C-alpha cells in the first residue's frame, strides 16, 4: 500500500451539509419535496442574467479561461470599494484561498489562531501543512468573541489569526474596534472572514488602507447565489496578493464562473433583492423558532441561525434525523469544536418553505414532549 503522510492517516474528514440526494436515497422522499435548510445557500437561485451568461458561454468551453482576471478584478473592486490591485479571485470558493494562504505563509510548527465554535475549514486546511492550531474563545452565551483570549494566544510562532464575522455557526459579529485591537497587536496575518457580510450590512474594508496584515475573505456562494460555481475572492495589500498569486492555480476560475460573476455584479437589483429577502426570512425564522417552547435561538447577522436544543428533549443527532424523515435538512453542529451535542443550525429558505419548516419543527418538538 502507498504510504501517505502521517497527518493524513490521523485526519478527520470535513463534514459538509447533507444533500437532497442523500435524503432521497435514504428515505425515498422526492427531491422536490425536501426543504434544504442546512447549507446557508441562496434559496431564490442565481441571477437570471448570470444564468443567461452561463448558457451563452457554452460555445467557449474548448478554450482555457482568462487567467489574470483583470476585468473581473476591476468589477469586484468596484463592488467592494477597493482598488483593483487589492483583489484576488479564486475557484473552489474562498476555500481555495485558505489553501493558498497556508502554502504561502506556513512552515512546519507555525501556529494559527481560531476561535471555536467557528468555521471548521480553517483548521481542516492549515493542519494539513503541519501548522498548530491555538484556540481562542467565542462566548456562545453572549454570541461574542472573547478578544482577550485571542490576544493572549498570540506568540512569536503565530502566522495567521482567523476572525469570522458574522461567525459561522453562531451568526454573531466581531466589532470593528475589536478587530483593530487584534490587528494592531501582531504582525501575523489577520484573516477576517466576511463570507456573509452582505447579510450583516457592515464590513471592514476600511482596514485595508491602514494595515498591511489584513485579508478579507469573501465568496460569491451566498447572497450572490453562485454556490455551484465556486468562486471566492480576497481583499488585501497588493504586496501580499502578489506573493499569494505566485502559487495560485492559474485556471481555477472557469469560463462559466467568470461570466456568471460578471453578470451578477451587473445585476444590482438582484443583489439588493436577495439581501433584503434573506434578512426578512432570517428574522421570520428567528421570531418563529423563538416562540416554540423548548428551543432557544440566537440572534444572527447572517443567513443562518444557531438553535440551542438543551431543553427540547432532543440531541442534535436525534432532531436532525426526525426532521430528515419528514424531508427537512438542517445542520447538526456536533462537529463544531466547543459545541456539545445539543445545537443545530438552520439557514433560510423561501417564505412558503420556511412556514412549512416551522410547522414540521413544531410537530417534531410536540412529538417528543408528548
Which is nearest to 124 in space by CA: 115, 133, 136?
Answer: 133
1 domain residue, yes or no: no
Asked if 10 and 111 sit in the same domain, the reply is no
Asked if 122 and 149 sit in the same domain, the reply is yes
C-alpha cell, 220: 460569491
d(CA 359, CA 173): 30
Asked if 262 and 273 sit in the same domain, the reply is no
Contact 253, 319 (CB under 8 A): no
116 domain residue, yes or no: yes
Asked if 210 and 162 sit in the same domain, the reply is yes
Asked if 141 and 216 sit in the same domain, the reply is yes
Asked if 113 and 38 sit in the same domain, the reply is no
305 domain residue, yes or no: yes
Question: What SS3 class is residue 70?
Answer: helix
Contacts of 225 (CB under 8 A, 6+ apart): 41, 42, 44, 45, 46, 47, 50, 264, 270, 274
Domain containing 65: what range? 48-267
pLDDT at 11: 64
Per-residue pLDDT reduced to its tens digit, 255-307: 999 999 999 999 999 999 999 999 999 999 999 999 999 999 999 999 999 99
d(CA 365, CA 370): 9
CATH of the domain at 53: 3.40.640.10
HEC string of 74-129? HHHHHHHCCCHHHEEEEECECHHHHHHHHHHHCCCCCEEEECCCCCCHHHHHHHHH
pLDDT at 311: 96
In the predicted model, residues of the chain with pLDDT beneath 70 are 4, 8-17, 370
Domain endpoint, select from 267, 299, 316: 267
348 domain residue, yes or no: yes
d(CA 199, CA 2): 46
Asked if 207 and 298 sit in the same domain, the reply is no
Asked if 291 and 304 sit in the same domain, the reply is yes
CATH of the domain at 320: 3.90.1150.10
pLDDT at 249: 86
Domain endpoint, select from 267, 287, 306: 267
Which is nearest to 86 in space by CA: 98, 74, 95?
Answer: 74
Tracing cell 461570466 back to the chain, one arrives at: 259
d(CA 306, CA 300): 8
182 domain residue, yes or no: yes
Asked if 193 and 304 sit in the same domain, the reply is no
C-alpha cell, 302: 447572517
Asked if 275 and 248 sit in the same domain, the reply is no
Before 166, cis peptide (omega within 30)?
A: yes
Domain endpoint, select from 234, 250, 267: 267
Domain count, the chain: 2
Asked if 239 and 91 sit in the same domain, the reply is yes
Tracing cell 442574467 back to the chain, one arrives at: 49
275 domain residue, yes or no: yes
200 domain residue, yes or no: yes
Asked if 79 and 39 sit in the same domain, the reply is no
pLDDT at 96: 95
pLDDT at 250: 86
61 domain residue, yes or no: yes
Contact 15, 120 (CB under 8 A): yes
Amino acid at each position: 500500500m502507498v504510504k501517505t503522510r502521517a497527518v493524513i492517516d490521523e485526519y478527520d474528514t470535513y463534514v459538509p451539509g447533507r444533500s437532497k440526494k442523500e435524503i432521497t436515497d435514504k428515505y425515498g422522499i422526492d427531491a422536490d419535496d425536501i426543504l434544504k435548510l442546512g447549507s446557508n445557500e441562496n434559496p431564490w437561485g442565481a441571477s437570471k442574467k448570470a444564468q443567461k451568461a452561463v448558457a451563452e458561454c457554452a460555445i467557449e468551453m474548448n478554450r482555457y479561461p482568462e487567467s489574470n482576471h483583470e476585468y473581473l478584478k476591476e468589477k469586484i473592486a468596484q463592488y467592494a470599494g477597493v482598488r483593483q490591485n487589492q483583489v484576488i479571485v479564486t475557484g473552489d470558493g474562498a476555500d481555495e484561498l485558505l489553501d493558498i494562504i497556508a502554502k504561502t505563509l506556513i512552515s512546519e510548527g507555525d501556529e494559527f489562531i481560531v476561535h471555536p465554535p467557528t468555521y471548521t475549514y480553517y483548521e481542516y486546511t492549515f493542519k494539513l501543512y503541519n501548522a498548530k492550531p491555538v484556540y481562542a474563545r467565542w462566548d456562545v452565551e453572549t454570541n461574542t468573541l472573547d478578544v482577550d483570549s485571542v490576544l493572549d494566544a498570540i506568540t512569536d510562532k503565530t502566522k495567521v489569526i482567523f476572525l469570522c464575522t458574522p461567525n459561522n455557526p453562531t451568526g454573531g459579529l466581531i466589532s470593528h474596534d475589536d478587530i483593530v485591537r487584534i490587528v494592531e497587536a501582531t504582525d501575523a496575518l489577520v484573516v477576517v472572514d466576511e463570507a456573509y457580510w452582505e447579510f450583516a450590512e457592515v464590513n471592514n474594508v476600511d482596514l485595508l488602507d491602514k494595515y498591511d496584515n489584513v485579508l478579507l475573505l469573501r465568496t460569491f456562494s451566498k447572497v450572490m447565489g453562485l454556490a455551484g460555481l465556486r468562486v471566492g475572492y480576497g481583499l488585501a495589500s497588493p504586496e501580499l496578493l502578489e506573493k499569494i498569486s505566485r502559487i495560485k492555480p492559474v485556471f481555477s476560475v472557469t469560463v462559466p464562473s467568470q461570466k456568471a460573476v460578471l453578470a451578477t455584479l451587473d445585476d444590482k437589483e438582484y443583489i439588493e433583492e436577495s439581501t433584503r429577502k434573506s434578512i426578512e426570512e432570517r428574522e421570520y425564522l428567528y421570531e418563529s423558532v423563538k416562540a416554540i417552547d423548548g428551543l432557544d435561538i440566537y440572534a444572527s447577522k447572517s443567513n443562518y441561525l444557531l438553535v440551542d436544543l438543551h431543553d427540547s428533549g432532543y440531541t442534535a443527532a436525534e432532531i436532525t434525523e426526525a426532521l430528515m424523515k419528514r424531508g427537512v435538512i438542517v445542520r447538526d453542529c456536533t462537529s463544531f469544536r466547543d459545541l456539545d451535542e445539543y445545537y443545530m443550525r438552520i439557514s433560510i429558505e423561501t417564505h412558503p418553505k420556511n412556514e412549512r419548516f416551522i410547522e414540521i419543527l413544531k410537530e417534531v418538538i410536540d412529538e417528543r414532549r408528548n
